[in-house]
Structure 1
Amino acid sequence: MPDRRRRPVDLDVDPDTTQPTVADLWFDPVCPWAWITSRWLVEVQRVRPVTARWHVMSLPILNAGREHTPRYQKLMNSSQQALRLLTAAAQHAETAGQDPSATLGQLYTELGTRFHRDNKPLDTATYTQALQAAGLPLDLLGARDSSDYDDAARRSHEAGIGLVGDKVGTPIISVAGAAFFGPVLTPIPGGEAAGRLWDAICLLSATDGFFELKRTRTRKPAFD
């Protein structure tokens, strides 16, 4: 069993004399809320000494065994294809001696910008544009229909879920020994507002025995 005990985050250190804090984020590529959280984390990196590391998780695995509407099942199929491509891109980078997390984050940015922000379908044209923009070979397109990448995606998913338990969704963040689902927010905070939210979340997540703070969502995801 993973050690889920929360360890304190030192918020009183001088950021100019310390190494950046690593924030691991697990995302499903088709989840709009995970996309917003990921763009917030990108913004946090600009205003706080934080470095993001990117990992995939899977809504199809989370929703296995449940009945879906045809529309949602189509989305789950798209998720699986995107997860395979992202996993293949990370493996390609590792084989080439490059940072697989950086490659994963870059391709996720290119895919998400087109799918979430620009409302383009996850079709061959969109995947092709994303791969080209990320500087990745187009022969990775074949990964979408290959189950060869499913085990690696599942291992990544289980690593994230193992930190927080199976009663949550995507995204998951782990920082300084504390892991949590979320934050779920809209619109995307920018600048110092993003940094202040980060500070607050680090403080809350490091508090022993703190589990949940929630209210009903009253807005749709906004990607601006």
Structure 2
Amino acid sequence: MTDNADFWFDPACPFAWITSRWILEVEKVRDISVTWHIMSLAYLNADKEIPDEYRRFLATAWQPVRVCAAVEQQFGQEKLAAIYTALGTRRHVEQREFTRETIEAALAEVGLPAELADAMDDDSYDEAIKTSHHLGMDQVGNEVGTPTIAFEGQAFFGPVITKAPKGEEAGRLWDGFVAVTAYPYVYELKRARTTELDFS
């Protein structure tokens, strides 16, 4: 029997992107399937004291997550996963901004209509985004963000990794994640980051 892992992401988050590439590797070597969910860093931080630089970053963060919401509503999980990969590759690997041109190119790559880019500025998707957001964040608390993974009744922020392992190495990291998160009294495991993000 295949186990389900729920994964919350904001397409603008580089940490979620790397962790998402890891869990896709895990699907190849462990008997799990991933259900993808959107969350919003802009919504999460709307009323928080954050640096101006981060506030500027969040100013354009609603647009891609709205497009993801539109894709999920109209085309379902498979296309949500596909558009996340297409958007994330452009943003995090190719270092492109989330312009309409970038989003339309991502939509075209996965066989979706360009008109879905209209969702960028359509706040009617925001309630659905907030609902999905709370489904994940209410399990882990608002002091964390994305990536968030829920598995077998436990939900955690992370793991935050700077490079996604491949193959069996990805599987072993998953085994460790499952073992640690299964213990109900674990709340935090953290150390200072000493390496740059590696999107390869």
Q: What band does the TM-score fall into relative to the shorter chain? A: over 0.9
Post-superposition Cα deviations, 1:87-110, rounded to whole Å, max 9, x if no partner, equal 0111111xxxxxx12211110000
- Within the candidate set 5, 21, 38, 1:39 is matched to 21
Alignment of 1:38-77 (within 5 A): 38-68=20-50, 71-77=53-59
Post-superposition Cα deviations, 1:125-147, rounded to whole Å, max 9, x if no partner, equal 21111001111111111110011
Please give the alpha-carbon distance, in whole angstroms, between the structure 1 residues aligned to 2:28 and 2:101. Answer: 31
Please give the alpha-carbon distance, in whole angstroms, between the structure 2 residues aligned to 1:60 and 1:86. Answer: 15
Offset, 1:71:
4.0
Paired residue type of 2:69 = T
- Within the candidate set 95, 98, 120, 1:144 is matched to 120
Please give the alpha-carbon distance, in whole angstroms, between the structure 1 residues aligned to 2:3 and 2:137. Answer: 21
- Within the candidate set 205, 210, 214, 2:190 is matched to 214
Tell me the residue number matched to 1:161: 137
Please give the alpha-carbon distance, in whole angstroms, between the structure 2 residues aligned to 1:91 and 1:208. Answer: 34
Partner secondary structure for residue 19 of structure 2: helix
- Within the candidate set 147, 163, 167, 1:191 is matched to 167
Tell me the residue number matched to 2:179: 203
Offset, 1:78:
2.2
Please give the alpha-carbon distance, in whole angstroms, between the structure 1 residues aligned to 2:38 and 2:105. Answer: 20
Query: What is the TM-score normalised by the length of structure 1?
Result: 0.86
Given that residues 53 and 102 in structure 1 are in contact (C-alpha distance below 8 angstroms), is that contact kept between their aligned partners in structure 2?
Answer: no
Partner secondary structure for residue 130 of structure 2: helix
- Within the candidate set 79, 83, 87, 2:61 is matched to 79
Please give the alpha-carbon distance, in whole angstroms, between the structure 2 residues aligned to 1:156 and 1:136. Answer: 22
Please give the alpha-carbon distance, in whole angstroms, between the structure 2 residues aligned to 1:108 and 1:194. Answer: 20
Tell me the residue number matched to 1:128: 104
Aligned length: 200
Q: Which has the larger radius of gyration?
A: 1
RMSD: 1.2
- Within the candidate set 143, 155, 178, 1:179 is matched to 155
For CA contacts below 8 A with separation 6 or more, give which structure has more relative contact order. 1
Given that residues 30 and 78 in structure 1 are in contact (C-alpha distance below 8 angstroms), is that contact kept between their aligned partners in structure 2?
Answer: no
Sequence identity percentage: 44
Tell me the residue number matched to 2:3: 21
Paired residue type of 1:45 = E
Offset, 1:22:
0.6
Tell me the residue number matched to 1:7: none
Post-superposition Cα deviations, 1:60-103, rounded to whole Å, max 9, x if no partner, equal 1111123555543332122100111100111111xxxxxx1221
Partner secondary structure for residue 33 of structure 2: strand
| Gaps in structure 2 of 5+ consecutive residues | none
Cα distance, 1:211–1:68 mapped onto 2, change above 3 Å:
closer
Query: What is the TM-score normalised by the length of structure 2?
Result: 0.96
| Gaps in structure 1 of 5+ consecutive residues | 1-18, 94-99
